[in-house]
């Protein structure tokens, strides 16, 4: 009886591997192609800030600092500071109302409200639920997203994914913070940096090549201690946090600077590379407005001249998750962003978290 011919196990494994690799590469090509076809677009934008302006001259009277010292190290000249009556939800709702008006979308048409914040009105319910009540967005799901200064990019990624998956048609994305409530006003290294405000965008379905082309998000939980506010959570309960004064933002400045520049540069390069683009294709770079040195260093890492970089940190300070949507609204208002412009946004925040987005307006 003739022996049955058998495939060597290695040959079978090789064939399976080749087939798997082909399918994987085909899948990657298809995903890559799909990433270039926008599923959502920005329909409207808005911003809101408190009335009070705190200048560097004002800070000179509060801590041992000077206008020259602050400008040379941060580029910041002034920032908006919330009054005792201001709430994160109120700032977010104000920005949202402007965005809805520009989008010509009613609050009742919203399917979701996503708010990027680390300074919400309360531990729960979410600030998004308070905003939902103010707006009267009775048909929306509402939730917060905590990614610190990357909060807007993370929230935009969620909104874009919901629309692409058919889970939502119109989504309100807001970045809003009242950082002055967690700032140590006796610490001259950090109190000069932060400001309060909110920025909002309404996202809806894309009809053509204009819209959210791609987003990119990453994090590294090994570096949580370098930028944090740990008081009041289950790690450091209220009673201990009060006695040890741990209700303030804590930042290891030099280490944060180093990681921020590297991560933001990588986020910008990665999203451009996977969409077969370079900095030359970008009309405007909107980085998180942390400070001017980080902004300049990030632009240099992606070989973009400062003429193509939007900077407003001098007027707002670091508003965390609010900085990019505030800048988008302002750039559109000042016509730094025009129809068909390609905008690259990049952010970095506590966690560490970082991310980028490509949008054609």
Q: How far is CA 260 from CA 44, 174, 227, 309, in A?
A: 29, 22, 11, 17
Residues sharing a CB contact under 8 Å with residue 344, sequence separation 6 or more, in sequence order? 268, 271, 272, 282, 284, 285, 286, 356, 357, 358
Tell me whether residue 149 is one of the annotated catalytic residues.
yes
Catalytic residue, candidates 92, 129, 228, 318: 318
* Lookup result for tokens 């080749």: 18
Tell me whether residue 259 is one of the annotated catalytic residues.
no
Catalytic residue, candidates 56, 92, 129, 149: 149
Tell me whether residue 92 is one of the annotated catalytic residues.
no
Q: Are strands 40-48 and 78-81 parallel, antiparallel or unpaired?
A: unpaired
Catalytic residue, candidates 92, 259, 288, 291: 288
Beta-carbon count within 10 A of 238 CB = 12
- How many whole angstroms separate alpha carbon 289 and alpha carbon 317? 7
- How many whole angstroms separate alpha carbon 230 and alpha carbon 244? 11
* Lookup result for tokens 């770079």: 285
As given in the structure block, the two tokens for residue 60 are 């000179």
Q: What amino acid positions are annotated as catalytic residues?
A: 149, 288, 318
């Amino acid at each position: 009886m003739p022996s049955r011919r058998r495939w060597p196990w290695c040959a079978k494994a090789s064939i399976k591997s080749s087939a798997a690799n082909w399918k994987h590469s085909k899948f990657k090509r298809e995903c890559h192609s799909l990433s270039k076809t926008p599923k959502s677009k920005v329909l409207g934008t808005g911003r809101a800030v408190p009335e009070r302006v705190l200048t560097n001259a004002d800070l000179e009277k509060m801590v041992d600092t000077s206008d020259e010292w602050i400008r040379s190290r941060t580029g910041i000249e002034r920032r908006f500071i919330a009054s005792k009556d201001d709430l994160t939800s109120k700032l977010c709702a104000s920005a949202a109302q402007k965005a809805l008006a520009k989008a010509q979308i009613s609050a009742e048409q919203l399917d979701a409200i996503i708010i990027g914040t680390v300074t919400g009105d309360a531990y729960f319910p979410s600030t998004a639920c308070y905003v939902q009540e103010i707006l009267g967005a009775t048909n929306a799901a509402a939730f917060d997203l905590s990614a610190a200064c990357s909060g807007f990019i993370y929230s935009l990624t969620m909104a874009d994914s919901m629309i692409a998956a058919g889970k939502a048609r119109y989504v309100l994305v807001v970045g809003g913070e009242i950082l002055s409530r967690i700032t140590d006003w006796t610490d001259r290294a950090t109190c000069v940096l932060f400001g309060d405000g909110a920025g909002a965008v309404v996202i809806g379905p894309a009809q053509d090549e204009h819209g959210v082309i791609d987003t990119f998000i990453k994090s590294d939980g090994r570096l949580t201690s370098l930028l944090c506010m740990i008081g009041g959570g289950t790690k450091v309960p209220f009673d201990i946090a009060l006695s040890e004064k741990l209700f303030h933002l804590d930042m290891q400045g030099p280490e944060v600077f180093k990681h921020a520049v590297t991560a933001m540069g990588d986020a910008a390069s990665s999203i451009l590379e996977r969409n077969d683009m370079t900095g030359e294709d970008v009309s405007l770079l909107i980085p998180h407005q942390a400070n001017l040195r980080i902004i300049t260093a990030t632009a240099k890492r992606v070989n973009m001249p400062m003429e193509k970089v939007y900077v407003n940190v001098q007027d707002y300070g670091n508003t965390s998750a609010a900085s990019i949507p505030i800048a988008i609204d302002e750039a559109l208002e000042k016509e730094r962003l025009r129809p068909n412009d390609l905008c690259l946004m990049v952010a970095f925040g506590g966690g560490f978290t970082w991310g980028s987005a490509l949008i054609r307006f």
